[in-house]
Structure 1
Amino acid sequence: MIRRDLHQHNRLAWDAVTPAHSSHKRDEAGFFRAGGTTLFDDEVHLLLGTGPEGHVLEDIRASGERPLAGLRLLHAPCNAGQDTLSLARLGADVTGVDISPTAIAAAQTLAEDAGIAARFAVADLYDWLPAQPAGFDVVFMSYGALIWMSDLDALFAAVAGVLKPGGRFVGIEFHPLAQMYDERGVLTYPYGGGAHVVGETGVGDYVAASGPALAPSGFLEGQVGFKNPHATHEFSWGVADILGAQLKAGLVLEVVREYPYANGCRIWPDMVETPGRRYVPAGGGAVPPLMLGWSSRRPA
């Protein structure tokens, strides 16, 4: 069931935390003007149908290629637009959609200051997607998007509806298994089925907790001790939920990948950063999969 009422509660939490996140990022516009990107190799491999190994972003920058040129791409939800603009830098004709007007205002300002062409819209995806024609070559979702979605069947049916025949739905997420653990690394939350989880402390300042890995333009101390006044409502989706909803929507799965590290985000406090802005648990040893990636296609 689509819970638009809870989506609006979450909007308040994102409106509150976005300025705190932005406060830690040094001169993002200058970073983009100089050719910077906030993307990781893993999502670019999925977008290009390559990999999963190799430093594809370094190769692209060295060659000056724009491998997404000619593609209409929807990034949803897009938060404050840094990844959206990075996708535009790869040549995509990109549209970013997010429920938070504060995040979209930040995205629009950054696009103007960086001189990167992109379109942005403030909307609940459950309202925006069904109103669009089948005009996108790619729909892209990433990193903590699905926990805010109250009905995957309805969402992915709408995603399939905006794709052109032959178009692809590409995503990379923190793994549902890893999301069963709280910020202390303690097994706490239910797995899958869309279980409703109330977060009394709201969206936190994970940029401050993650440091330079989430601020490649340069990390600033910024706002200290942020506390979100708005609780959140999250939804627990398992691997079968995520992949099954795509199949139910008529999409054909082409790639499914799992990763033993978390890009950018220190999801547990004892994690250590490794090359490539990747976090892994300290001490080594056995770890659960920390990210899940996929690519599926609307039949031509």
Structure 2
Amino acid sequence: MSSAPLKKELHEENRLSWNEATKAHNSHKGNQAKFFREGGCTLFPEEKELLGNIVNLSLVHLQCNAGQDTLSLVQLGALGTGVDISDEAIAFAQKLSQESGIPATFHRADIFDWLEEAAKKNEQFDIVFSSYGAVCWISNLNLWAKGISNILKSGGRFVVVDFHPVAMMFDTDWSHKFTYFSEGKPLTWEDGISDYVAESSGGLTPWGYEKGIENFHNPYRVHEFQWGIGEIVTALLQAGLTLEVLKEYPYSNGCKLFERMREASGRRMFPPLDVPSVPLMYGIVARSRNSHTDI
């Protein structure tokens, strides 16, 4: 499973597409520094529950995007580091950290490169965290899981909250269009990363939505990877982690993934009444063993 060499050329195209999309996304988010200075937090209850108490724990947020959740984790007491492939996202995160007065370290890198370098430097963390549209960009699950295991301290935890692969089988109109089992083959979208912040009409901007860039068109295509829950869990287990929690949720947080989604309290997005319930998110907590010698 996922034993093929890394598809770095696809990662590079994804980087270009994310650079463009990040500009559009942040154009709708207004004065984020003010939001954070006033104690704002972009985290949802699900990731807070899975993370537990993170005060004074070292935490690396993989695929941190423009840093909003990373800074929110620091607000909750973590010693935060963020890593993302997008130049635009990391530049924004560093600026937001400075303007909000919330200290965090950000690195612009392909996470496979960063994980390898961190392991070489023997950098280790109490928590590795990833969330919301992260795993679909991972081109090699085994390398990803082993990289995470290598940088976790003894007894450290990996926590992920993400959109469920079952949800990724459906087109925006709820029709069953895509396969669940893709055998690691990339799914290419010629229209690139969308302006999903605009499409979610305020669901991702708890402090208020601004019109910003309109009719966004991304000139760079992207490549996603469909991994099933069994593949994800197995990769983590084979990397030497112990599964502690696997949860599934019948809603998506903030993001209107499909047409006609019903918004409930807490910005939870449910299918319309005429669509049967399907899992739209999952959460995993996996813990490092006492040593890495047996991995």
For the pair 1:278 / 2:264, whether they are aligned, the reply is no
Give the aligned residue type for 1:44: K
Equivalent residue, structure 2, for 1:55: none
Is the Cα contact below 8 Å between 1:98 and 1:121 reproduced in 2? yes
Q: 1:224 aligns with which of 210, 214, 239?
A: 214
Equivalent residue, structure 2, for 1:262: 252
Q: Secondary structure of 1:137's match?
A: strand
Q: Secondary structure of 2:266's match?
A: coil
What's the % identity of the aligned pairs? 47
Equivalent residue, structure 2, for 1:96: 82
Equivalent residue, structure 2, for 1:114: 100
Equivalent residue, structure 2, for 1:288: 278
Equivalent residue, structure 2, for 1:171: 160
CA RMSD of aligned residues (A): 1.0
Q: Post-superposition shift, 1:284?
A: 5.7
CA distance in 2, matches of 1:116, 1:100: 21
Q: 2:63 aligns with which of 63, 67, 77?
A: 77
- Which consecutive residues of structure 1, in runs of 5 or more, have no partner in the other structure? 49-66
Give the aligned residue type for 1:30: K
For the pair 1:299 / 2:289, whether they are aligned, the reply is yes
- Aligned runs of 1:1-300 on 2, under 5 Å? 1=4, 2-48=6-52, 67-132=53-118, 133-192=122-181, 193-283=183-273, 286-300=276-290
Give the aligned residue type for 2:175: V
Q: Post-superposition shift, 1:127?
A: 0.7
Equivalent residue, structure 2, for 1:58: none
Give the aligned residue type for 1:281: P
Q: Post-superposition shift, 1:186?
A: 2.2
Give the aligned residue type for 1:213: G
Q: Post-superposition shift, 1:285?
A: 5.6
Q: Post-superposition shift, 1:256?
A: 0.3
Give the aligned residue type for 1:14: W
Give the aligned residue type for 1:272: R
CA distance in 2, matches of 1:164, 1:262: 31
CA distance in 1, matches of 2:224, 2:179: 11
Give the aligned residue type for 1:19: K
Give the aligned residue type for 2:232: I
Is the Cα contact below 8 Å between 1:195 and 1:237 reproduced in 2? no
CA distance in 1, matches of 2:134, 2:263: 23
CA distance in 2, matches of 1:204, 1:184: 16
TM-score, scaled to structure 1: 0.92
Is the Cα contact below 8 Å between 1:136 and 1:163 reproduced in 2? yes
Q: Secondary structure of 2:201's match?
A: helix
Give the aligned residue type for 1:38: T
Q: Post-superposition shift, 1:195?
A: 2.8
Q: Secondary structure of 1:223's match?
A: coil
Q: How many residues align?
A: 282
CA distance in 2, matches of 1:152, 1:143: 17
Q: Secondary structure of 1:70's match?
A: coil
TM-score, scaled to structure 2: 0.94
